A = this chain, B = another copy of it.
Amino acid sequence: MAVGLSAPAPEQLCPVPGVRLGTARAGIRKADRRDLLVVALDPGSVAAGAFTRNRFCAAPVLVCREHLEATAAIRALVVNTGNANAGTGERGLSDARATCEALAPLLQVQPRQVLPFSTGVIMEPLPVERVVAGLPACVSDLREDNWLAAAEAIMTTDTLPKAASRKVRIGAAEVSVTGIAKGAGMIHPDMATMLGFVSTDAAVSPAALRSILAYATQRSFNAITVDGDTSTNDSFVLAASGKAAMPVIADERSQGYAPLRDAVTDVSVQLAQAIVRDGEGATKFITIRVEGGAREDECRKVAFAIAHSPLVKTAFFASDPNLGRILAAIGYSGIADLDVAGIQLHLDEVRVASNGGRDPSYREEDGQRVMRRSEITVRVVLGRGERSATVWTCDLSHEYVTINAEYRT
């Protein structure tokens, strides 16, 4: 199932000058499916990355961090599906390095200019020889208009490819921002997507690129949850080829910083929402907006407590306005001095609760009417201040259990 999600048409995805993509069928786990992607970045490109905070992070994540610390002048990404190369110890690390070393000469770059990514089953050795054997086919397939095939190549339990694209004017130049992502389960903040990659032909300094990455990540991939599990492999990379005819965006005060930041954030939010819309077993897309907090982090706490509650999620699945479950989740979200008497709860246009209990105007049939919708906004007003946060999630269905009980079969 997938809520309001459709595959993007290839012509909706603007090519990004200086960024070429190539895929192959390497037979990593299953025969005859695209499971290997190479992204080649022209000389002069810079990249920045955000990664999982899971302490058991995968070998490729460790290698990505190492390479990005050494240089922002990244020239290639290589992504395999079918195997996460996580929980694989020393061997996993040398497999991830070997992948970079095999790709580098094919593109005439240094191994440390290659970022490796893996997604799939955890704690099984990476079949590195199949990855390496598939690289030449990827390289000969490299094209600027290959975004949709790239989005397909990184799918695992995803039902549809995820890609988004924007054009944005910066001074006299019109630059492209195009991205792809994958992920449907093991989705939780601190890098919710398994993999996300957004690129632009804008000219940006490494420092400005890192600042834009952090801004966009917090508002997109770190604001979604499917099941509360933080993956070992979550990675989000933003790359800029610098091909557009424009002055370099040096820092946050540069002209062009804000429009580029907003375009990247917009593409990232679309990709992040696509992950939730394609959440394992999802039948509903839920926006949780928490307002009136004293701090943004407490708004996020409340939003994620609601988003993670299996009881709330099954009630959405059943279209059952058992809305006390939302109040219960607000109550245990961890705000020690929360005064429940000041709280309001709205479901779309219906006011459900106020002053710590059911609103006098609330009628069960109103709640029922909203719960039947496939897209619902839960709005909580804490009455403690001016800060807010928004989180997106999906419901918990029979299909989620089926998918995750049978993932490896």
How many chain A residues sit at the interface, stated as a range, is: 35 or more
Contacts A311-B186, A329-B229; A358 near B402 (Cβ below 8 A)? no
Whether the pair A322, B122 counts as a contact (CB closer than 8 A) is yes
Query: Which of the segments A27-35, A239-247, A248-256, A313-321 contacts the partner chain?
Result: A313-321
Whether the pair A228, B310 counts as a contact (CB closer than 8 A) is yes
Whether the pair A55, B330 counts as a contact (CB closer than 8 A) is yes
A256-283 residues with Cβ-Cβ distance < 8 A to B are none
**Within the complex, what minimum Cβ distance (angstroms) separates A292 from chain B?**
15
Residues from chain B with Cβ under 8 Å of A315 in the complex: 404-405
Interface status of A57 (Cβ within 8 A of chain B): yes
Q: For the complex, would chain A's binding face be called helix, strand, loop or mixed by DSSP majority?
A: loop
Residues from chain B with Cβ under 8 Å of A5 in the complex: none
Whether the pair B324, A86 counts as a contact (CB closer than 8 A) is yes
A397 contacts which of B229, B318, B401 (Cβ < 8 Å)? Answer: B401
Interface status of A56 (Cβ within 8 A of chain B): yes
Q: List, sorted by A's number, 26 A–B pairs whose CB atoms are closer than 8 Å.
A: A54-B332, A88-B358, A89-B341, A89-B355, A89-B356, A121-B322, A122-B324, A122-B327, A123-B324, A123-B353, A123-B357, A188-B332, A190-B332, A227-B310, A229-B325, A229-B328, A229-B329, A230-B331, A230-B332, A231-B328, A311-B404, A314-B405, A318-B406, A320-B406, A396-B401, A400-B401
In the complex, what distance in Å separates the CA atom of A311 from the CA atom of B185? 8
Residues from chain B with Cβ under 8 Å of A86 in the complex: 324, 327-328
Contacts A311-B229, A404-B314; A357 near B92 (Cβ below 8 A)? yes
Whether the pair A327, B357 counts as a contact (CB closer than 8 A) is no
Q: How many copies does the complex hold?
A: 2
Residues from chain B with Cβ under 8 Å of A331 in the complex: 54-57, 230, 232
Indicate with 1 or 0, residue by residue over A374-409, a CB within 8 angstroms of chain B CB atoms. 000000000000000000000011101110111111
Whether the pair A358, B89 counts as a contact (CB closer than 8 A) is yes
Q: Which residues of A contact B (CB under 8 A)?
A: 52-57, 84, 86-92, 121-125, 185-186, 188, 190, 227-232, 308-311, 314-315, 317-318, 320, 322-325, 327-332, 335, 338, 340-341, 353, 355-358, 396-398, 400-402, 404-409
Residues from chain B with Cβ under 8 Å of A121 in the complex: 322, 324
In the complex, what distance in Å separates the CA atom of A54 from the CA atom of B305? 12
Residues from chain B with Cβ under 8 Å of A89 in the complex: 341, 355-358
Whether the pair A56, B314 counts as a contact (CB closer than 8 A) is no
**Within the complex, what minimum Cβ distance (angstroms) separates A229 from chain B?**
5
Whether the pair B123, A227 counts as a contact (CB closer than 8 A) is no
Contacts A185-B311, A311-B185, A311-B227; A328 near B54 (Cβ below 8 A)? yes
Residues from chain B with Cβ under 8 Å of A407 in the complex: 320, 322
Q: Looking at A124, A329, A405, which has the most chain B CB atoms within 10 Å of its CB? A: A405
**Within the complex, what minimum Cβ distance (angstroms) separates A222 from chain B?**
13
Whether the pair A322, B55 counts as a contact (CB closer than 8 A) is no
A335 contacts which of B55, B318, B397 (Cβ < 8 Å)? Answer: B55
Considering only CB atoms, which chain B residue lies closest to A318 in the complex?
B405
Residues from chain B with Cβ under 8 Å of A90 in the complex: 357
**Within the complex, what minimum Cβ distance (angstroms) separates A79 from chain B?**
19
Considering only CB atoms, which chain B residue lies closest to A338 in the complex?
B55
A332 contacts which of B55, B88, B185, B309 (Cβ < 8 Å)? Answer: B55
Whether the pair A317, B228 counts as a contact (CB closer than 8 A) is no
Contacts A314-B401, A358-B123, A401-B317; A229 near B324 (Cβ below 8 A)? no
Residues from chain B with Cβ under 8 Å of A406 in the complex: 318, 320
In the complex, what distance in Å separates the CA atom of A397 from the CA atom of B229? 17
Whether the pair A401, B404 counts as a contact (CB closer than 8 A) is no
**Within the complex, what minimum Cβ distance (angstroms) separates A225 from chain B?**
11
Residues from chain B with Cβ under 8 Å of A55 in the complex: 330-332, 335, 338, 340
